[in-house]
Amino acid sequence: MPPAASVGPWMRIRGLTKSFAGELALDHADLDIEQGKVHGLVGANGAGKSTLIRCLAGVTVADEGSVTIAGEDLQKGSPRASEKAGLAFIHQELNLIPHFNALQNMLLGAPKVTRFGIIDWQRSGVAARAAAERVGIRFPLETKVSELSVAQRWLVMISKALVGEASMIAMDEPTASLSGPESEQLFAIIRDLSAQGVAILYVSHRLEEVLQLCDRITVLRDGRIVDGAERGALNKKGLVRAIIGHDIRPPDARARFASDRNQQPTFSVRDIAWKSAVKGVSFDLYKGEVLALGGLVGAGRTELAHLVAGASRPNAGHFELDGKRLDIANEAEAVRAGIALVPEERRSQGVMLQQSVGFNINISTLKKLRAIPGLPFVSDRKARRQANSLIAQLGIKTPSVDARIGGLSGGNQQKALIARWLNAGTRLLILDEPSRGVDVGAREEIHDAIRALARSGVGILVISSDVEELTLLADRVLVMREGRVTGELTGADITEARIIELSYHDPNDEEGDIA
């Protein structure tokens, strides 16, 4: 249970500063967090929210500043010290072990009762079962996490925090993958926890729920805390103004895609819908352009990309490639149709880390590399020639075609993934967060490769949460919010401010909806 309340705020954050490669990610942040309160933390991508949380978690060491909890200094750079101080962190990508059951996951890191060197799960699980009852878990705790829904996994994570006697739980985008009823259940649990004295640090791009749920809201912009207010002192319009730095401006009616609409689109999306994540999206992608999807976490962009790539099937709508209607049942059919995806999680979903660079590049074109047509034997000479050609074309830095790809930098792994599809007859290439985790030089090289592909006639659909990347790379930007397209930007109208505006506000909404 949380410790007794101390005089003044339970947690004091003073002057917290952190820079990466000379750029300030957090700039002298001052913040108070009280027990029994839900504290909202909002800001655009890159505003400093994640850096602040990582400093509190001890994962990142602040350059300056201090954190005190109940009057005691929190040791910097020590996850164990943060845990002992009662801080728990639930990230959007839930840190659970799928093949463990719920009870085992709740007790990870917690002391366990043992007899003869064997864990007594019944006795060890007393605190876990009490925590599960506290958050309203109704499924058996012996259920494997892999069999649980996202909402049920969140309950496991909250229970795990309570087993650790958390005094503060930080939640990062908790409703991004939840349905409406599941979100309401989570809100009820959060209110109950705060009533019991637990502090909640609530990070979300969904401003409506932040305004509804939080007792106090702090706004970060460019690493600085620029606003903070108690419940009721800010409305949605004021919150958006604080996040982007100015009032919402009506879009320029002339700022629309100027390409020849008479030509046949390379790829078309027609009224695509899937569950609650994608809601009637339609657009055309034209030859020679880089079309980007912008928006915040949970906007539906990745879900839409997975539908296009055949990883999921839409509930409504259809796709067209070169004017022909497509019915894509799975990823293999998408590849045969000429649609390829370079996923966001390249290390777990893209490259085969233990295989060679050449193997990773050539895996999509093995039929073309056969020594004898019709026989399943790959010509080593053909494979090496193709891989070396693509390595040179994309400037992939590797000791040789035989080097293990896991030993390459992130940027070179990403270029190898792009190279994989260059000789595969690809008509549409989808790139989800193409420059995440790569340095500035590699990002520029990746952007050059993407533009060259587009100009060669390959349709390019890019998803990026890096607003600056969208302004540098895209010929046209479609911004998504809550599963819908809220605006289309071209030319000089593709600015960071306009993308952020549309990420938070649908201009088709009535003004009263954001007042």
3-state secondary structure at position 282: strand
Amino acid at 402: D
pLDDT value at 257 more than 70: no
For residue range 193-217, what is the model confidence (pLDDT) as tens digits?
Answer: 999 999 999 998 788 899 999 999 9
Residue pair 489/307 in contact by the 8 Å Cβ criterion? no
pTM, entire model: 0.63
Q: What is the dihedral angle through the alpha carbons of 394, 399, 404, 407, rounded to the nearest 10 degrees?
A: -90
Pair of tokens at residue 4: 């007794």
Q: What are the angstrom distances between the C-alpha of 70 and each of 77, 135, 216?
A: 19, 26, 19
- Asked whether this chain's domains 11-244 and 250-338+426-515 adopt the same fold, the reply is yes
pLDDT at 6: 47
Beta-bridge partners for 285: 267
For residue 114, how many other CB atoms are within 10 A of its CB?
11
Sheet holding 11-20, edge to edge: 23-33, 11-20, 64-69, 72-73
State how far the Cα of 465 lies from the Cα of 467, in Å rounded to an integer: 6
pLDDT category of residue 515 using cuts at 50, 70 and 90 = very low
Which sequence spans correspond to the domains of the chain? Answer: 11-244, 250-338+426-515, 353-424
- Which helix or strand (DSSP H or E) is residue 118 part of? strand 118-119
State how far the Cα of 339 lies from the Cα of 208, in Å rounded to an integer: 36
For residue range 83-132, what is the model confidence (pLDDT) as tens digits?
Answer: 999 999 998 778 899 999 999 999 988 877 777 777 777 777 888 999 99
pLDDT value at 142 more than 90: yes
Using a pLDDT cut of 70, give the percent of the chain over it: 92
CB-based contacts of 119: which residues, under 8 Å, 6+ apart? 112, 113
* 64-73, 260-269, 412-421: range with highest mean pLDDT: 64-73
For residue range 47-80, what is the model confidence (pLDDT) as tens digits?
Answer: 888 899 999 999 999 999 999 999 999 999 999 9
pLDDT category of residue 305 using cuts at 50, 70 and 90 = very high
Pair of tokens at residue 54: 């990582």
Residue pair 162/170 in contact by the 8 Å Cβ criterion? no
State how far the Cα of 194 lies from the Cα of 202, in Å rounded to an integer: 12
Least Cα distance to 429 among 409, 449, 411, 412 occurs for 449
Rg (CA), the chain: 25
pLDDT at 511: 46
First to last CA, the chain: 39
Amino acid at 380: D
pLDDT at 167: 95
- Which helix or strand (DSSP H or E) is residue 294 part of? strand 290-295
For residue range 165-204, what is the model confidence (pLDDT) as tens digits?
Answer: 999 999 988 887 677 788 889 999 999 999 999 999 999 8
CATH code for the structural domain at 250-338+426-515: 3.40.50.300
Pair of tokens at residue 345: 């999680």
Q: Class for domain 11-244, per CATH?
A: alpha beta
pLDDT at 410: 79
